[in-house]
Chain A
Amino acid sequence: MTDAADTPEPDEIESPHPVTGLDDVVHQRVRLGILTIAHEARRVEFGYLRTQLELTAGNLSQHLSVLETAGLVQVEKGYAGRRGRTWITLTSAGNTALADEIGRLKLLIARVETTDTQDDR
């Protein structure tokens, strides 16, 4: 005879835990922030990102480089008058990665809340 409590729920067997699908490149506070801002702004200037995320230029450049290597953002350098400006745009892969990450975070929160409720019983 099998104990009912040990039997996994059907949806637990079919769908893996949301944590397993998290992408390390995106699942990081600053990089998620960069992707969120770039998604909302369509195109965002380096200085704006630096101010909003409260980072040094070097630190922000490192994160941008990780995202650019992963093909999630596109970095363009140009001029506004005499001032050099760097613009960051989300690629379609970046858009998908951001949507996936947000979806997984929501799933994770839902899963944690469900577990908490079951533990309380």
Chain B
Amino acid sequence: MTTESVPAGGDPRRLLSDARDLARRVRLDQRVTWLPLLVLALMTFGAIPAYRYGRVISDCHPANDGQVCTVWLQTVTFYWLAALVLAYVVIAGGYLRAARARGVDTRVLPYAVTGVALIGLGFAFAAVWTHLNPLAYPEEPSAFAQFLFRLLDPPGAIGLALLVLAWLERHVALLLFTLGYLAVVLVPINFGWGAHWGPHTWFIPQLVINGSALLLGSAGFTLAQRLRRPR
């Protein structure tokens, strides 16, 4: 601490470098990166029972030489909507609380709003697409449509919202982590598991992988934060 008066002005290079350093320190103190990753990991693991035991509504009608069915995973849809809205509320609240306890405010609200908006957009996109492009088995949506579905599916939407958080916080490590996570979500890892598990269990490995990636990320950022903070 000093009580000396500080000379006015100074070397412009030093002033700019001091300002940049202060801004960087504030950004570090605003981050609570482990929290969204942990909450979203828990929500992802929580989706497993919803898929496994949830209610599925199918509407079938005869087609040319068989029947066309529209399948709606009712419980899963409601689970993701409720779980992710709750998750973003918890994340925003926790972020604000932690940052304010350190003496600064945070930019988490645009992230939470984007997260909720993407969930709504994802379900709206799926509903409109299915209505406009009904497919008869064994037809499959185009590769581009499948990519969009995966991107706007809840696990993909989680990644897109994390990109927004990385941008808001200018957090390069989070950006790299999120790109890796999105790669896992968009290019599903499949070693043939679940091929004969039945319609209620084939998705479990992918949910476990997504949730584990988020959980590992949360642990990694917690560790990094602990190592950085002076004891």
Q: Please tell me which one of the listed residues A29, A47, A49 contacts residue B18 in the complex, with CB atoms under 8 A apart.
A: A29
Q: List 17 A-B contacts (CB under 8 A).
A: A27-B9, A30-B6, A33-B18, A40-B26, A44-B104, A45-B104, A48-B29, A48-B103, A49-B103, A51-B103, A54-B1, A55-B1, A59-B5, A102-B19, A108-B12, A109-B13, A109-B16
- Tell me the interface secondary structure of chain A in the complex: helix
A27-69: CB near B (< 8 Å → 1, else 0) gives 1111011001101111111011101101110110000000000
How far in angstroms is the closest Cβ of chain B from A104?
A: 8
CB–CB A29/B22 < 8 A: no
> Is A75 positioned at the interface, with any CB of B under 8 Å from its CB?
no
Q: Name B1-58 residues within 8 Å CB distance of A.
A: 1-3, 5-10, 12-13, 15-16, 18-19, 22-23, 25-27, 29-30
User: With A29-B15, A55-B2 known to touch, is A47 a contact of B103 (CB < 8 Å)?
Assistant: yes
CB–CB B6/A43 < 8 A: no
Residues of B contacting A106 in the complex (Cβ-Cβ under 8 angstroms): 16
CB–CB A59/B3 < 8 A: yes
> Which residues of A are in contact with B by a Cβ distance under 8 Å?
22, 24, 27-30, 32-33, 36-37, 39-45, 47-49, 51-52, 54-56, 58-59, 102, 105-106, 108-109, 112
How far in angstroms is the closest Cβ of chain B from A30?
A: 5
Interface size class of B (residues with CB under 8 A): 20 to 34
User: With A27-B8, A56-B2 known to touch, is A43 a contact of B15 (CB < 8 Å)?
Assistant: no
CB–CB A29/B6 < 8 A: yes
Q: Please tell me which one of the listed residues A24, A28, A37 contacts residue B22 in the complex, with CB atoms under 8 A apart.
A: A37
CB–CB A56/B3 < 8 A: yes
CB–CB A24/B2 < 8 A: no
Given contacts A28-B6, A48-B103, 20 further A-B contacts (CB under 8 A): A24-B8, A27-B8, A29-B6, A29-B7, A29-B9, A29-B10, A29-B18, A32-B15, A32-B19, A33-B19, A37-B23, A40-B26, A45-B100, A49-B103, A54-B1, A59-B3, A102-B16, A105-B12, A105-B16, A109-B13
User: With A54-B2, A56-B2 known to touch, is A109 a contact of B12 (CB < 8 Å)?
Assistant: yes
User: With A41-B104, A55-B2 known to touch, is A36 a contact of B12 (CB < 8 Å)?
Assistant: no
Interchain CA distance A52-B104 in the complex, whole Å = 12
How far in angstroms is the closest Cβ of chain B from A41?
A: 4
In the complex formed, the residue of A with least CB distance to B99 is A41
Residues of A contacting B9 in the complex (Cβ-Cβ under 8 angstroms): 22, 27-29
CB–CB A33/B107 < 8 A: no
CB–CB B22/A33 < 8 A: yes
Interchain CA distance A42-B9 in the complex, whole Å = 24
Interchain CA distance A108-B9 in the complex, whole Å = 13
Q: Please tell me which one of the listed residues B2, B6, B13, B102 contacts residue A48 in the complex, with CB atoms under 8 A apart.
A: B102
Interchain CA distance A24-B100 in the complex, whole Å = 31
In the complex formed, the residue of B with least CB distance to A43 is B105
In the complex formed, the residue of A with least CB distance to B20 is A36
Residues of A contacting B5 in the complex (Cβ-Cβ under 8 angstroms): 59
In the complex formed, the residue of B with least CB distance to A28 is B8
Q: Which of the listed residues B6, B15, B103, B106 has the most CB atoms from chain A within 10 Å of its own CB?
A: B103
In the complex formed, the residue of B with least CB distance to A22 is B9
Interchain CA distance A47-B27 in the complex, whole Å = 17
How far in angstroms is the closest Cβ of chain B from A76?
A: 12
